[in-house]
């Protein structure tokens, strides 16, 4: 079982290509960029050991109060072992990985920008590794 913290910095302009940020297109077609910190790899990605018990990933969108987490979606979800809920505030999401099987899944944090009235997706990986 692990409890891992992940930070997410979102900016409402494109990356310059050399700053480590990833560009993403928001629902209003504007280009934003984001950068994850923390996690197992220092970039928001998480490695879990299969059969190690349930683990949690706490994702916090920091910086500007205009950003909140509206949803977390999953792809490649190994046997439906990933779920999420809001944390104490709307800029925190708690992702739970039950860690019961091997394989990889991805979580995508959907961030809402209250100033521009749009959403954007930011997605690192969750990898479940065999013991």
Contacts of 20 (CB under 8 A, 6+ apart): 35
Q: Is the pLDDT of residue 106 over 80?
A: no
**Owner of token pair 């990833």:** 22
Spell out the domain ranges in the chain: 3-129
Report the CATH number of the 3-129 domain: 2.60.40.420
**Gap between the Cα atoms of 93 and 78, Å rounded:** 20
More confident residue, 2 or 112: 112
Q: Quick one: which H or E segment has residue 61?
A: strand 55-62
Give the mean model confidence (pLDDT) for residues 77-84.
76
The per-residue pLDDT for range 45-66, each reduced to its tens digit, is 777 667 677 788 899 998 789 9
The per-residue pLDDT for range 10-39, each reduced to its tens digit, is 999 999 999 999 999 999 999 999 999 998
- Residue 79 DSSP SS3: helix
User: What proportion of the chain, given as a percentage, has pLDDT over 90?
Assistant: 53
């Amino acid at each position: 079982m692990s409890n891992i913290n992940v930070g997410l910095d979102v900016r409402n302009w494109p990356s310059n290509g050399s700053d480590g940020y990833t560009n993403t297109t928001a629902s209003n077609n504007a280009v934003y960029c984001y950068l994850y910190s923390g996690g197992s790899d220092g970039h928001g990605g998480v490695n879990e050991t299969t059969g190690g018990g349930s683990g949690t990933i706490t994702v916090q969108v920091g910086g500007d109060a205009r950003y909140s987490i509206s949803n977390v979606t999953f792809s490649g979800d190994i046997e439906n072992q990933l779920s999420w809920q809001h944390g104490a505030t709307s800029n925190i999401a708690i992702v739970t990985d039950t860690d019961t099987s091997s394989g990889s899944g991805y979580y995508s944090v959907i961030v809402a920008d209250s100033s521009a009235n749009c959403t954007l997706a930011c997605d690192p990986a969750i990898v479940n590794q065999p013991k």
